[in-house]
Structure 1
């Protein structure tokens, strides 16, 4: 039986660990926090799970909240290079999505992994620690990009490109009054950023996530203010009142679900070399956010993590008893990169529209959406797979074909 060490208990690490365990591998998951600490810890940036990622989760019997978490069936968007140039459209999300408070999802998955027979070690880890531990396993996969472990993976200048640094603010609340149930509402304005009101599943049941992404130093950047969670929530509601009055009407009477449900993070897009080399010379494989971080405005974080973990799982299973050397690691990431680079392009396309920097044909396409519901449904539903989304509009010819298909 091959022994695998997975470092990091986020979406990708837990998904891979569950998948390997199901197939009979001896899997150890190394994480810095217990499930209780995760469950009662600080909030992390909201993520969406689109239909294909949900299907992956269901195959491993990990969709524990089906029937409890609100289904995201529709998206409404205000979009423009400036507030004055904005236009609006609505569209169906075919197959529906889900927004989960990360604390609930990761804590439940971590406990389920242990209940199903997986080994969990709760301990902080340094590069020196990892070098010692890696010698005990056939393969070590690093699924955390924070701290010194992230520095094992050098930035890849040949692949890095696109995306902007963002300040992310998230709050989980009760009391939002949305005009249509199961609808994700958002705005994308150049010079401002993006703001969202999303039905979400929280540690206390259904609620909403109010989150936003802005550029450092921009109107949505509150990171320079020393705010406690209640104050941060008040400032967030004030930003909705100032910049998105129609969303303010939905969130003006909200309250935090608890005193840890508001937070700020800084996110920087990058692509890193997937192979890290430990002091002993042993190679470790970086996965998902460890080696690929994209512009968060397109809400692809958990999609990317799930797809990456699923591809890694398939490659590990197909590799049999062969050694997990650096060549295997690079070819495994290369397969994922075919997907990941399209996710980067998706971020560039949406970000470009928001910032007024997209090719003219892309803005032309988006301006058709208010008057073409079938086209809007197709574009929004293609967020499920960046490869499908980018093929609809990457070139003027593809855009024309996309429009023609709805007429």
Structure 2
């Protein structure tokens, strides 16, 4: 029986630990918190998971909350004008539904299941010295804890990391009482509200510790009018500030929020970090090697909602690579090949798309977003790109590709669609 140490009890670490456990590996999992501490702590993320990532959980029979969580059937995009209007406002339909489960619910639940199934759980915030000691007793050490000292073992890959500073200031509130969008009251959807030169507001249905809720998530340009949450420790003040900014920049979303209240005292989160891609192999002082997982090695800004999705896809990819390796040693060559498989299928397309969305959108992207308001196939394709970001490579980045695609959609839609692609106002 091969022995594997997994450090970190988030989406990737727990999914991988439970997947390996189910295949007969002897797994030790290190977490810096107990299940109860996670369950009663502060929210950790915004985690909307799309169809592919949800299927990875289903494959391991880990979708315990699928019947309870809202079924998200669309992704909507609204663009704000300075006068408070929405010159662009549309809803793309997802081929397979998405869902969001508060990580306090999911990670605490999965941690309990891991222990119930006989896994060895060590509650300890691991240091590099700890891993140097423990690594000698394991065939493989996987580091899935994306913060703290351990990350220092994985050097920044400058060629794949164009940013060296945070590109957004982040502020999250979990609320009860948000009214549905009046134009689509029957459809659960992620709403992406783009405020040019200011930032973005995302509104997402979720399941939290107290039932169905919504997430209000501001992403503000550093130094801009949304960058005001640093140092705000009081949850009520955090929510009041969130609503004040909604009233100013996205009044159509503020109109839904007359009766909102925080889900709990731990229902807010604020912070910022620089997007980064790191070298996947860490070298311990004693010469041992460890393999980085998910956002330890590919940490993107949450503007495209890919964190939990990439973590799930990374766990599934690594699980496959481990199972295919048989009883051969997990050496440096295997580690590099295992990361490269994840990078080229998931990490690279996600990073390219996310970095593109962080910048000022070029004219052809504005045209695509505007066209989606009049051409439903364009709206649907953009929405489903959240599940498969690699699809953006075929039409999103190059102006000629974008125009060819719009021409093709208009042509197939017939004369009623007009002679050319509509432009964003």
Which TM-score tier does this pair reach, normalised by the shorter chain? over 0.9
Gaps of 5+ in 2: 413-425
Q: CA separation in 1, counterparts of 2:240 and 2:232?
A: 13
Native 8 Å contact 2:142 2:290 kept in 1:
yes
The equivalent of 1:372 in structure 2 is 375
Specify the SS of the correspondent of 2:202.
Answer: strand
The equivalent of 1:70 in structure 2 is 70
The equivalent of 1:35 in structure 2 is 35
Specify the SS of the correspondent of 2:9.
Answer: coil
The equivalent of 2:348 in structure 1 is 341
Q: 2:168 aligns with which of 166, 169, 192?
A: 166
Distance 1:266 1:351, change over 3 A: closer
Q: CA separation in 2, counterparts of 1:130 and 1:219?
A: 43
Length, aligned pairs only: 403
The equivalent of 2:333 in structure 1 is 327
Native 8 Å contact 1:276 1:286 kept in 2:
yes
The equivalent of 2:180 in structure 1 is 178
What's the TM-score once normalised by structure 1's chain length? 0.94
The equivalent of 1:24 in structure 2 is 24
Q: CA separation in 1, counterparts of 2:321 and 2:122?
A: 25
The equivalent of 1:213 in structure 2 is 219
Specify the SS of the correspondent of 1:209.
Answer: strand
Runs of 4+ in 1 over 4 A off after TM superposition: 80-86
Q: Alpha-carbon deviation of 1:254?
A: 0.5
Specify the SS of the correspondent of 1:370.
Answer: coil
Q: CA separation in 2, counterparts of 1:260 and 1:111?
A: 21
Cα offsets for 1:296-319 (capped at 9, x unmatched): 111011111111111111111111
Q: Alpha-carbon deviation of 1:198?
A: 1.4
The equivalent of 1:109 in structure 2 is 110
Native 8 Å contact 1:17 1:27 kept in 2:
yes
Native 8 Å contact 1:79 1:189 kept in 2:
yes
The CA RMSD over aligned residues, in Å, is 1.8
The equivalent of 2:387 in structure 1 is 384
What's the TM-score once normalised by structure 2's chain length? 0.91
Specify the SS of the correspondent of 2:255.
Answer: helix
Distance 1:80 1:342, change over 3 A: farther
Q: Alpha-carbon deviation of 1:214?
A: 1.4
Q: Alpha-carbon deviation of 1:364?
A: 2.0
Q: CA separation in 2, counterparts of 1:231 and 1:400?
A: 46
Gaps of 5+ in 1: none
Native 8 Å contact 2:166 2:272 kept in 1:
no
Q: 1:195 aligns with which of 180, 195, 201?
A: 201
Cα offsets for 1:32-83 (capped at 9, x unmatched): 0000000000111211100110011001011111221001112221136977
Native 8 Å contact 1:237 1:252 kept in 2:
no
